[in-house]
Amino acid sequence: MRLNEPTNQEKIPFKAINWNNIEDMVDKLTFEKLTSQFWLDSRMVPSNDIQDWSKLSEKEQTLYNKVFAGLTLLDTLQSEDGIATIKQDAASQHEIAVLDNIMFMEAVHAKSYSTIFSTLCSPREITAVFDWADSNTFLQEKAHVIRDIYLNGTSLQRKAASVLLESFLFYSGFYTPLWYMGNGKMVNVAEIIRLIIRDESVHGAYIGHKFRLEFNNLALEEQEDLTDWVYKLTLNLYENEMQYAKELYNEIGWTENVRIFMQYNADKALMNLGIEPLFGVTAADVDPIVMNGLSTTTSNHDFFSQVGNGYLLSDVEVMKDEDYDY
């Protein structure tokens, strides 16, 4: 059928998104927040950490590579499956617009780790660590658990899984760069992680907000059943995450501190969902060096010059007539 050929069937009009007519103002506030803090890995400078990297032991470098490969896998899951399935249940065009922004930034996050790898590692080392991520039992387990919920769960279950992923499961990996940054090492790489954490904090809060709106419409018995389901999922993920942390951190002696950090962030994820915390861990219980790194403010918010340490925008030159000659 040609585009201009009439049909006997009445067409449903396609609606233009109207940002001046919004049911949930959180959509507009979140969209503006995310766009105001937009960044790209290509404008970061992890090469400034090459000297620090050369001073790390082989054991430390291996840990760095593994946590970043694991984070890459989780961001890939979120950008390919997670947000796409949550979009299916969006209540408005504005919510879809926010989720599109989140999905794009998850892809940026995944690519950012490759930027770090290509700066610090050889091609053979990169291949080896991605092979490790693709076969690690505990990493694959949490990815499969979350992905199964994305593909087969209800709208509320998908949102809960997403918040647990973004606000909890990432943090066993984030611990490493935050610790080194707090000790004055690998600070440019850690600046990328701080920007990622800044994004994830908004993502978790926004999807948690959408979860609560939908949750509040349930009958009391349904709310209790779903809360029990979330607690069971959290404990299941936590048990697997502890095994993952032991494999990563036992040799370097950080497992106990990482355990406390994971419990802290699991509770934060539950609070994003409006659910009572499980572990009762506060910021005071977490290594203060790592907590300092969790601050999602950066040193300079003038986007036209710099976003955080090392995030420099390119110089701009005025276009000339000959630039248009091909």
Domain boundaries, the chain: 50-299
Q: b vs e for 78-113, b when ≥16 Cβ sit within 10 Å of the residue's Cβ?
A: bbebbbebbeeebeeebbbbbbebbbebbebbbbbb
Q: Which pLDDT does position 12 carry in this prediction?
A: 84
Residue 325 pLDDT greater than 70, yes or no: no
Quote the tokens at residue 299: 């040193």
Residue 22, amino acid? I
Beta-carbon count within 10 A of 155 CB: 16
Look at the chain and count its residues. Answer: 326
Question: Could you give the dihedral angle defined by the CA atoms of residues 112, 248, 81 and 204, in that order, rounded to the nearest 10 degrees?
Answer: -80
Q: What is the pLDDT of residues 106-128, one digit of tens each?
A: 999 999 999 999 999 999 999 99
Residue 317 pLDDT greater than 50, yes or no: no
Dihedral sign (CA 186, 192, 194, 197): negative
Residue 297, amino acid? T
Dihedral sign (CA 296, 299, 302, 308): negative
Average pLDDT over residues 123-134: 95
Q: What is the pLDDT of residues 192-210, one digit of tens each?
A: 999 999 999 999 999 999 9
Q: Which pLDDT does position 291 carry in this prediction?
A: 86
Q: What is the pLDDT of residues 240-297, one digit of tens each?
A: 999 999 999 999 999 999 999 999 999 999 999 999 999 999 999 999 989 877 765 4
Task: Label residue 7 by pLDDT band (50, 70, 90).
Answer: low
DSSP one-letter code for 155: H
- Give me the residue label for tokens 């949102």: 159
Q: Which pLDDT does position 186 carry in this prediction?
A: 92
Q: What is d(CA 227, CA 204) in angstroms, rounded to the nearest whole number?
A: 17
Residue 236 pLDDT greater than 50, yes or no: yes
Q: What is d(CA 210, CA 92) in angstroms, rounded to the nearest whole number?
A: 11
Query: pLDDT > 70: what percent of the chain?
Result: 87
Indicate the pTM of the whole model.
Answer: 0.85
Q: What is d(CA 32, CA 26) in angstroms, rounded to the nearest whole number?
A: 10
Q: What is the pLDDT of residues 69-97, one digit of tens each?
A: 999 999 999 998 999 999 999 999 999 99
Catalytic member of 64, 113, 150, 249: 113
Closest by alpha carbon to 170, among 194, 154, 134?
Answer: 194
H helix runs in 78-186, sequence order: 83-87, 93-120, 123-135, 137-152, 155-164, 171-182
Q: Which pLDDT does position 10 carry in this prediction?
A: 73
Is 113 tagged catalytic?
yes
Q: CATH topology for 50-299? A: Ribonucleotide Reductase, subunit A (1.10.620)
Task: Label residue 105 by pLDDT band (50, 70, 90).
Answer: very high
